[in-house]
Amino acid sequence: MHRRVITFSKNAFLPLTTVCQNRCGYCCFRTPVEEGCVMPPDEAIRTLEASAALGCTEALFTFGERPGAVPGFSEMLGRLGYADILDYVYDLSLAAIEHGLLPHTNAGILTYEELGWLREVNASMGLMLETTADIPAHRNSPGKDPAVRIEMIENAGRLSIPFTTGILLGIGETADDREESLRVIADLHQRYGHIQEVIVQNFCPKPGTAMERAAVPGPDEIGAAIGLAREILPPDVAVQIPPNLADASRLIGCGVNDLGGVSPLTIDYVNPEHPWPQIDELRRIAGNAELRERLCIYPQYIEKGWYSPLLEPLIRQLAERITAPGQGTGA
């Protein structure tokens, strides 16, 4: 029998802005337009340089959805010489590539044209579906309309973008809603073949948010959702859990085969109270399984050539590096 494999990616987390048009009832990431709400270019470059020196392979660019729709943001961004946040992430993606990191962008809702443009400088991209249900927590969040999110994931498939999505547990959805969400993701993958991983993420209450006293999913509930994901999703789609948000060692046996991106330098800015586990802890979580480092673009998409020519030399170089003897687990 083959030894079970659990994968992970070493990344740098760069939150380019905390301004967002959505007002989700569980989010502490979003802030108003104010000084410091945009990461300056010099800070971003320092983060890229330091992360590359620590052996990271992925630059995770995350920011609030459509911040330009929030009054005052465009003026703030204009101080950096940019009219649109997508122009900024494009240039920083080029900088990441120059420093030896593969860009992966989570930008919220993007159009087909925007996805195609960012594909030129991104090895993979992502958008959490979260849920197909209409829930109170998303009442003031136009970008969380399930139909809008499904359309974007579908557009990513049309463009052959290796894609990450997922569900969020405990935000007001039911067990039936979770099943429906997973079946929608499975159907999208069966049509386009682009979903490389699905995150099963548990909601964590944040002080000062509308849902700060909401009930949280317990380990059995999370484990059942993981098992459901493994049952519904095709075998070539990885089931991922964030190892800093739940007892991953207890959940690993439910069908998990990926532990996501972890950083030796930057924090989880969406869940800042939950530090990333480091490599030794990931080995403990993996137990008897083989812990194997991966890139943000999975091997099957490298083989298919689902990347722009600009990215090919770096993808080949990093793929060779992480598979070299003694390098596969960040040793």
Q: How would you label 229-263 residue by residue, b for 16+ Cβ within 10 Å and e otherwise?
A: bbebbeeebbbbbbbbbbebeebbebbbbbbbbbb
Question: Is 20 assigned a ligand-binding role in the annotation?
Answer: yes
Residue pair 165/131 in contact (Cβ under 8 Å)? The answer is: no
Q: Does the annotation flag 37 for ligand binding?
A: no
Report the candidate in 71, 73, 65, 77 with the shortest Cα–Cα distance to residue 24: 65
> In terms of Cα–Cα distance, which of 183, 271, 192, 171 is closest to 233?
183
Question: CA 237 to CA 257: how far, in whole Å?
Answer: 9
Residue 51 DSSP symbol: H
Residues 60, 171: contact at Cβ < 8 Å? no
Beta strand extents in the chain (DSSP E only): 5-17, 58-63, 102-106, 124-126, 163-169, 195-202, 238-240, 258-262, 290-293
Q: Is 56 annotated as a binding residue?
A: no
Residues with Cβ < 8 Å from 144, sequence gap 6 or more?
Answer: 22, 24, 130, 138
Give the CB-side neighbour count of residue 198, counting CA atoms within 13 A.
Answer: 37
Positions at the binding site for [4Fe-4S] cluster: 20, 24, 27
Q: Which amino acids are annotated as binding site, given as ranges? A: 20, 24, 27
